Amino acid sequence: MTAVEVLHRDQDFRLLRTQEDPADNAYWCFMHAQRFQRDMGYRACFSVPLMKEMREFLKRTADHLTMRAANSDGGLAHVIVASDANVYNLGGDLDLFCRLIRERNREHLLAYARLCVEGVHELHAALNRNAHTVALVQGDALGGGLELALSCQTVVAESGIGMGFPEVLFDLFPGMGAYSFLCQRVSPRLARPFYSRPTVAVARDLLGARLVHVTPHDGVRHAGRIVETEAYVGAHDLACHAAKGRTARTEVMFGHAGHAYVYLCYGIHDMLNIVSGEHGVAQAVLVRAAEPLDGWEANLSGPGNLAKGFEITRRDNAADLTGGRLFLLERQGGDQPRVMRTRRVGVDYAKEWKDAPLRFIDADSPFISRPKHR
């Protein structure tokens, strides 16, 4: 008996090549088998026959693993989904879509969508109880192909391949569960439209967001949950730097939202601000305090301490906060700060603006820099 034996000998798949490796307790599934090799016109996508064969493979594998688990037979199994083609999977069956749309066949389009959803759910939910699922991505994985990979617990991909959701090029939402899978793996960074909103709203909504800085000299990644901010709303706000006009220091404030405004305070402390609001209006949010995350021990209470702990300096002035070095991630699911507004700290010089309630704190956080009530 060889170390590798054909899985499900009673099922002669036409578009799959399946095999079992007992030595490693691994179950392999190769898409686009046989057909790709002999049919040059074959498109390595999710045709209905391919999806049905994969559903059959996954169902049988899940039943087999459930039975083994009930009998306490063997350790953790591995289910690997790969491809025999020169791509992993190109997603939806475009020829089928065109035909069904021309026929106005809504029923069959919905049936196709349901088949897609049920397939990735089978892989993501039914198998994961008893197996470690792996997507071995060699060649491009687009649309549903990437969704299939993301539904697995581990994605192993070769360098230089294309991965993405082409539908976004046409202002279409990547449905069938793709967005949900992606958000479980990559927490969305706050994008430019978030920062371009009214500054008071940005200051409030930054509570609970996570500030991340990857320091350039050593590549260390630090993260903290923001718990205190202050809004500075333009030249008419006498506590705002823009009140003294457009200068070399404040130039970045007059630019596009979503950039860092870092300045030196009293010749001692660097302070991190986030440019917000409309272009040319010169508004910003001062990040005053954060809670260190991921086991990091640092004093991030107060804007000077925060910048020092994160190693943010004037070298970071004008940095694009939608980039990959200094950026913010949106609140994690279930994180709902108890928002409280107070007057800002240290702006007694601002005349009628000194008591404006433009400081926002997470009232339940022990990391805020000053008392709650002012």
Q: Is 284 exposed, middle or buried (0-12, 13-18, 19+ CB in 10 A)?
A: buried
- Select from 185, 211, 243 the last residue of a domain: 185
Q: 346-352: long-range contacts at Cβ-Cβ below 8 A with a sequence spacing of 24 or more?
A: 347/239, 349/238, 349/239, 350/237, 350/238, 350/239, 351/238, 352/238
**Alpha-carbon gap, residue 83 to 136, rounded angstroms:** 8
Same domain, 42 and 140: yes
Tell me if 371 is assigned to some domain: no
pLDDT of amino acid 124:
79
Token pair of 22 as six digits: 């007992």
pLDDT of amino acid 54:
92
What would the mean pLDDT of 60-65 be, rounded to a whole number? 86
CATH number at residue 179: 3.90.226.10
- Select from 166, 185, 204 the last residue of a domain: 185
Tell me if 374 is assigned to some domain: no
What would the mean pLDDT of 365-372 be, rounded to a whole number? 85
CATH number at residue 349: 3.10.300.10
Residue 112 — φ and ψ, nearest 5°? Answer: -65, -45
- pLDDT tens-place string over residues 66-82: 887 777 666 788 999 99
pLDDT of amino acid 373:
55
**Alpha-carbon gap, residue 235 to 282, rounded angstroms:** 7
Q: Could you list the residue range(s) of the whole structural domain that residue 268 is in?
A: 192-362
Number of domains, the chain = 2
Same domain, 129 and 196: no
Token pair of 90 as six digits: 């190109």
- Compare 231 and 125 and report the one with higher pLDDT: 231
For residue 172, pLDDT over 80 is answered with no
- Select from 185, 208, 241 the last residue of a domain: 185
**SS3 (DSSP) at 370:** coil
- Tell me the whole-structure pTM to 2 decimals: 0.57
Q: Residue 205 CA to chain centroid, in angstroms?
A: 18
For 298-327, b/e burial (b = at least 16 CB within 10 A) is eebbbbbbbbbbbbbeeebbebebbeeebb
Tell me if 11 is assigned to some domain: yes
Q: At a CB cut-off of 8 Å and minimum separation 6, what does 191 contact? A: 258, 322
For residue 63, pLDDT over 90 is answered with no
**Alpha-carbon gap, residue 72 to 74, rounded angstroms:** 6
- pLDDT tens-place string over residues 222-255: 999 999 999 999 999 999 999 999 999 999 999 9
pLDDT of amino acid 38:
61
Same domain, 283 and 327: yes
